[in-house]
Amino acid sequence: MKFIILAAVFAVAAANSYKAAEYAPKYEAPKYEEVTYAPQPYSFGYDVQDKESYTDFDHSEKADGKVTSGSYRVALPDGRTQIVSYKADENGYTADVKFEGEAQYPEYKETGYKAAAYPAPAYKAPAYPAPAYKAPAYPKY
């Protein structure tokens, strides 16, 4: 017990004599320069046609640094083709949307499929007796 008290007194004395560093390290915030690049002209295009998945679309675009223009074409599920031609410049985004073909909505036909008729289960449902509650018997005082 005396050892614990002695250790506590020593810890308090050591804590009072501790001195924090008198200097603090100074770090300067990193300096970042905003790098701006001149607009680069580009041009690209791609076309996808997959008969198995009925995927059919293409996209092409070109830019000269100030004006970006392009178009894309998508085969819609209703049989039409949507063609979008667009132009983006300092005045904003302008799109021209066109549709080719006539929308086809096939008439709904009910299938001849009938749900399978399953037989009644071969097992009997368990029979549980009705719960019987006895009235509590309280002693008389």
How confident is the prediction along the chain (141 residues), in pLDDT tens digits per residue? 777 887 887 777 776 666 666 777 778 888 888 888 888 899 999 999 888 887 889 999 999 988 999 999 998 888 899 999 999 999 999 999 999 999 988 888 888 888 788 888 788 888 888 888 888 888 887
Following DSSP, what letter does each residue of 14-52 receive, concatenated?
HHHH----S-----PPPP-PPP--PPPPEEEEEEEEETT
Buried b (16+ CB within 10 A) or exposed e, 38-55: eeeeeeeeeeeeeeeeee
* CB within 8 Å of 55: residues ≥ 6 apart: 48, 49, 75
Query: Do the Cβ atoms of 68 and 85 come closer than 8 Å?
Result: no
CA 118 to chain centre: 42
User: Can you tell me the distance from the alpha carbon of 123 to that of 38, in angstroms, rounded to the nearest whole number?
Assistant: 81
Furthest CA-CA distance within the chain: 104
The whole-model pTM stands at 0.51
